[in-house]
Amino acid sequence: MALRSLDNALPTTPERPKKFAKVATPLQKQYDLGINDENKAPLPETADPVIDYILSEDLKAIPDPETKIQSLMEGLDSKDWTKVCEALNNARRFALYHSSLLLPVLDKLMLVLVKAMKNPRSALCKTSIMASFDIFHSFGDTLLESSTSDAFENLLLQLLLKASQDKRFVCEEADKALKAMVESMRPLPLLHKLQAYVSHSNHRIRAKAAVSISHCVSKMGLEGMKEFGLVPLVQIAADLLKDRLPEGREAARSTVISVYKAYTEDDEQKNSELSPAELWQIFCQSNLVPIQAQSMVKIIPS
C-alpha cells in the first residue's frame, strides 16, 4: 500500500498537444474570404486594360464625323479613364481629318489635355501628350489666339513639366510634342510665351524651355529677332549659359550662334570694315555686363 501511494504522488509528464496538418487555402478562396484584403494583388480580370499608342500616320478618318462630334465630347467628359483615352485618340482623328469640326471645342479639348497630363496613370498621360502633338500640327498659330491663349499656356506648362520627368516614355513624347509646337507656330509670339519659363524655379523646366527657345530663334531672321529685341534675346541666352543643366547650357549656345549669324550676316554689318567677330564683341560689350559679354564672345570661333 505504501508503494502504491508513492507512485500516485509522482508528477506525471504532460501530454503534448496534437499537431494538425496545415490545409492550404486556394488563392481564389482567400479572395472570397477577404484574407489579407488590404495587401492582395488584383485578380487577372481586374487588371488595367492595355492601351494602344497609335502613331499619327496610322490614325484613320472618322466616318460620318458630323454626327460623332457630340459623342466625342461625351467621351472626353467620362469618369472612366479608358474611355477618355479612346476619346483622345478620336480627337486626334478629328484634328487630322476634320479639324473644322474640332475648332469650336478646341479650348475645352486643351483643358481635357491638361487634366489628363496631370493624371497619375501613365497611359492616360502619354495618350494626351500624343494628342497635343497632332493638335499642334493641325491648328498651329490658332492656339495662340486670345480665345484659347490661357488654355494654351496651361498646356505649355504641362508639356514642359512632362518633358522634365524621369519616366522616359513620357518624357520622349513630351519632347516630340514641344518640337511639333515650335514647327507649327510662328516663332515670335511663341517666343514671348516661352520667355516666362527661363527664370522658372525648376531647373529642368528652364532647360526644356531653353531648348524650345533655341528652336524658335533658329527659325527667325534678323528682323524677327529685332522685333523681339536683340538685347533681351542675348540677355536670355547669357543667363541660360550658366544654368544648372547641360541641356539648357547647350541650348543657350545654339541660341547665341543663331543670333550671331543673323547679326553679322546682315547687309549693314557686311559693309563694315570690322570682322564679324569684332562686330559681335562690340555688340556684346555694349549690351551685357563684362562677364556675360566674355562668355558670349567665347562661344563664337575667332
Q: Residue type at 44?
A: P
CB atoms near residue 149 (< 10 Å): 14
Using an 8 Å Cβ cutoff, are 262 and 206 in contact? Answer: no
Helical residues (DSSP H) of the chain, grouped into ranges: 2-9, 27-33, 65-76, 81-97, 99-102, 106-118, 122-139, 149-163, 168-184, 187-195, 203-218, 222-228, 230-240, 246-264, 267-270, 276-287, 290-299
Cell of 136: 499642334
pLDDT at 66: 93
pLDDT at 113: 97
pLDDT at 82: 95
Q: List the one residue out of 161, 251, 242, 152 whose CA is nearest residue 205.
A: 161
Is the pTM of the predicted complex or chain greater than 0.85?
no
Q: One digit per residue, pLDDT tens: the chain, 302 residues?
A: 444 444 444 444 455 544 444 444 343 333 333 333 333 443 343 445 678 899 999 999 999 999 999 899 999 999 999 999 999 999 999 999 999 999 999 999 999 999 999 999 999 999 999 999 999 999 999 999 877 788 999 999 999 999 998 889 999 999 999 999 999 999 999 999 999 999 999 999 999 999 999 999 999 999 999 999 999 999 999 999 999 999 999 999 999 999 999 999 887 777 788 899 999 999 999 999 999 999 999 998 76
Q: List the one residue out of 168, 258, 172, 184 whose CA is nearest residue 222.
A: 258
pLDDT at 300: 87
State the DSSP code for 77: T
pLDDT at 273: 87
Cell of 123: 497611359
Q: Give the C-alpha separation, 40 to 38, whole Å.
A: 6
Q: Give the C-alpha separation, 294 to 232, whole Å.
A: 17
pLDDT at 16: 54
Q: What is the DSSP string of 32-56?
A: HHTTTTTTPPPPGGGSPPPPP---G
Q: How far is CA 68 from CA 94, 95, 231, in A?
A: 10, 13, 51
Q: Exposed, middle or buried by CB within 10 Å (0-12, 13-18, 19+), for 9? A: exposed
pLDDT at 10: 45
Using an 8 Å Cβ cutoff, are 213 and 194 in contact? Answer: yes
Q: What angle is formed at CA 249 by the lines to CA 247 and CA 251, rounded to 5 degrees?
A: 70
Domains and CATH numbers, the chain: 67-185 (1.25.10.10)
Q: Which residue has the cell 499656356?
A: 153
Q: List the one residue out of 94, 138, 130, 96 whose CA is nearest residue 113.
A: 130
pLDDT at 48: 54
